[in-house]
Amino acid sequence: MILNVSNLSKSFGDHLLFEKANISVEQGDIVGLIGANGTGKTTLFHLITGEEEPDEGAVIRSPFTTLGYLEQHVCADSDRTTYEETLLVFSHLFEMERELAQLREALSGEQAGNAALITRQEEVLAAYEAGDGLTYKNLTRAVLTGLGFTEEEQALPVRSLSGGQKSKIGLAKLLLQKPDLMLLDEPTNHLDIASVDWLENFIQSSNITTLVISHDRYFLNKVCTRIAELSLQKVYVTDGNYDRHMELKAERDLSLQRAYDNTMAEVHRLEGVIEQQRRWNREKNIRTAESKQKQIDRMTKDLEKPEYERYDFSFFFDPDSVSGEEVLDVDSLSMEFPGKVLYQNVSLNIRRGERVFLIGENGVGKTTLVKQVLKRVRGVRFGIGVTTGYFDQHQMNLSMNKTVLEEVHDMYPRMTDTEVRSALAIFGFRGEKVFEKIETLSGGERAKVALCRLMLRHCNFLILDEPTNHLDLYSMAALEEALSGYEGTLFIISHDRYFINRLADKVVELTPEGAETFVGNFDDYRREKERRGENGTSPEKQEKQMGAGGLSYQEQKRLRSEQTKKKTALRKAEERITELEEEIESLNEQLVDPSFATDFEKMTELTEALAACNRELETTMESWEQLAEEVSNFE
């Protein structure tokens, strides 16, 4: 036994997370921990690591078990490069290397032949080799490459990396440590499909006992040998992967419901007998009634009505019109920044009713392509009668200072408060929750507000950018159900392979060279790639591809300098936009000032100034957008 969680209970104030939780983890198990947001998955990890104390119960871990824990947000800023930071896992080998160097120097000088030094050298060398001393540098490169770091990114300082890249460094360090028990909290976040494939293969081949929190159902299906679900303050454990767990859960729920229904049917029958016997009111009838009542008491003593998790997230998309047969035609779109081609010669065609998914490596420009489509740049043509709704994965189109109610009502002013609140209630926003500010909501709650607004638009063409990000498993399932019943057309960016398998009839892979369309879902796409011998999920092939064409030190220095310049220009553009918006607001106030109403010369001057500010604002915002895209691509 590696780990035994026994009768564990934990509350925060009056809020009970779970009680009498039991999980036993054996050597080699890969256990997926699932549950709705807020059920206590991360808290359970903290109890296992000892960061928090349980209210009741115990966590028993073998004293010889080494524990490694990857949290969702790890790795502080550092001037060390990505490669150097990751190598710190092997700092004990650095000490051995220094000692071996000193021993070699001593034995090659005056102390040549010293038996004690020779013995010590053999001991240190044996420990060094046993601890991967001969391969740790190559192993570190391979793990970083597998997680998607190019050679140039491995040479960048940690402080210049994005939050997602820093999380990947934490994951790389943990994998290289090879602990006896590994705790992973959402390890597939920030990884593209190729990197997740590599991680799955690593976990399966490493034989490291693993407990993993994840919303990635494809990942849970591929790697997990058992599933533990936190639900209704209890933990339910089943053998098998995610799909098997859901099958067993449905069977268990059905069995419990049938047993309860059968028991209650018998209880109601006996109550009828009791009522009849009491009406006759003879001594024998009274004894019979008392006997039947005792029978009911025995049957209901430990009987509990089956409980089911009630999820508020259930909705549908209903287009109010039908588009023409041709929905979207994209012809030879390209996006290029100074010194870098993001993608080129992208062409695709989407017809009415199709469900098309766009996939590709991180940084290839999937969101950029969608924004080009939405801007209807040259080469983009929408069909007749197409009404478009867009879901932004970052929810940048939400107003952070508005309440939930205001955010939806302001977009649909003709709706009554009751109608808006009814729509929000579908997504779980009830009572005082509708008066919370958008800025205070979680990522999942913001996504639901955005989906609510989208639902109310009744569009016949939905363009969704990573819609499952921030959603828990149950919300993902509800979204899938809504989209499964949608009679319009879908164009979706996603890295969620389970989601793609459920809905896709076409997969479009975006690369720097263009876009290729594959008929079918994700598994069909993968089979076709493997048939061609283009399976990019093998670690060896990834390492070869990502390691090819390494940049020189001078080129790396030039790129870092360019990145700094872009960030400075971006900051100045943001400052100028703020100044222009303030100036425009001031000019608008002067234009409605009654004292200037009859001053034609002054009004002309103000109008010209306002037009000039608006032109500059538009130009500056276009510049800001391009700079933001360039900085994002650096990261």
Q: What is the CATH number of the domain that holds 41?
A: 3.40.50.300
Average pLDDT taken over every residue of the chain: 86
Q: Which amino acid, 273? A: V
pLDDT tens column, 27-51: 999 999 999 888 899 999 999 999 9
The answer to whether the CB of 122 falls within 8 A of the CB of 151 is no
403 and 531 both lie in a single domain: yes
494 and 586 both lie in a single domain: no
> What's the whole-model pTM score?
0.73
Considering only 67-71, 76-80, 437-441, 629-633, which range has the smallest mean pLDDT? 629-633
> Mean per-residue pLDDT for 204-211?
91
534 and 609 both lie in a single domain: no
Residue at a domain's end among 494, 521, 547: 547
Q: What is the pLDDT of residue 257?
A: 87
Q: What is the pLDDT of residue 544?
A: 37
* Within-domain flag for 138: no
* Within-domain flag for 82: no
264 and 235 both lie in a single domain: no
Q: Which helix (H) or strand (E) holds 182?
A: strand 181-185
418 and 441 both lie in a single domain: yes
Residue at a domain's end among 547, 572, 590: 547
CA–CA distance, 507 with 500 (Å, rounded to integer) = 8
> Mean per-residue pLDDT for 353-368?
92
The full DSSP string for 221-289 is: HHH-SEEEEEETTEEEEEES-HHHHHHHHHHHHHHHHHHHHHHHHHHHHHHHHHHHHHHH--HHHHHHH
Q: What is the pLDDT of residue 553?
A: 41
pLDDT tens column, 257-301: 888 889 999 999 999 989 888 888 788 888 888 898 999 999 888
Long-range contacts of 127-132 (CB under 8 A, 24+ apart): 127/96, 128/93, 128/96, 128/97, 128/100, 131/90, 131/92, 131/93, 131/96, 132/90, 132/93
431 and 463 both lie in a single domain: yes
Considering only 162-171, 289-298, 449-458, which range has the smallest mean pLDDT? 162-171
CA–CA distance, 382 with 67 (Å, rounded to integer) = 55
> Mean per-residue pLDDT for 222-237?
93
> Mean per-residue pLDDT for 409-415?
93
pLDDT value at 204 more than 80: yes
Looking at per-residue confidence, does 164 or 181 come out higher?
181
287 and 379 both lie in a single domain: no
CA–CA distance, 495 with 497 (Å, rounded to integer) = 6
264 and 353 both lie in a single domain: no
539 and 524 both lie in a single domain: yes
* Within-domain flag for 92: no
* Within-domain flag for 100: no
pLDDT value at 530 more than 50: yes
For residue 562, the domain's CATH number is 1.10.287
> Mean per-residue pLDDT for 406-418?
93
Considering only 437-446, 504-513, 583-592, which range has the smallest mean pLDDT? 583-592
Q: What is the pLDDT of residue 561?
A: 62
487 and 595 both lie in a single domain: no
Residue at a domain's end among 215, 240, 265: 240
Q: What is the pLDDT of residue 540?
A: 40
pLDDT tens column, 393-410: 888 889 999 999 999 999
Q: What is the pLDDT of residue 545?
A: 37
* Within-domain flag for 516: yes
Please name the residues in contact with 536: beta carbons below 8 A apart, sequence gap of 6 or more. Answer: 194, 529, 542, 545
- Structural domain total, the chain: 4
Cα(first)–Cα(last) distance of the chain, in Å?
42
> Mean per-residue pLDDT for 114-124?
91
The answer to whether the CB of 278 falls within 8 A of the CB of 286 is yes
Tokens of 130: 């046993």
What are the φ and ψ backbone dihedral angles of 137, each rounded to 5 degrees? -70, -45
Q: What is the pLDDT of residue 596?
A: 65
Range of the domain at 460: 326-547
Rg, Å, the chain Cα set: 31
Q: What is the pLDDT of residue 281?
A: 77
pLDDT tens column, 419-430: 999 999 888 888
* Within-domain flag for 171: no
542 and 565 both lie in a single domain: no
The full DSSP string for 78-130 is: -SSBHHHHHHGGGHHHHHHHHHHHHHHHHHTTTTTT-HHHHHHHHHHHHHHHH
> Mean per-residue pLDDT for 199-216?
92
The answer to whether the CB of 319 falls within 8 A of the CB of 460 is yes
> Mean per-residue pLDDT for 191-210?
90
CA–CA distance, 151 with 173 (Å, rounded to integer) = 17
pLDDT value at 6 more than 90: yes
Long-range contacts of 368-374 (CB under 8 A, 24+ apart): 368/335, 368/342, 368/629, 369/333, 369/335, 369/343, 369/510, 370/463, 370/465, 370/491, 370/493, 372/333, 372/335, 373/328, 373/330, 373/333, 373/463, 373/491, 374/463
* Within-domain flag for 419: yes
Q: What is the pLDDT of residue 203?
A: 92
CA–CA distance, 613 with 587 (Å, rounded to integer) = 9
366 and 473 both lie in a single domain: yes
* Within-domain flag for 361: yes
The answer to whether the CB of 21 falls within 8 A of the CB of 35 is no
Q: What is the pLDDT of residue 426?
A: 87
pLDDT band at 472; cut points 50, 70, 90: confident
> Mean per-residue pLDDT for 241-257?
90
> Mean per-residue pLDDT for 88-111?
90
Tokens of 5: 């969680």
pLDDT band at 560; cut points 50, 70, 90: low
pLDDT value at 76 more than 80: no
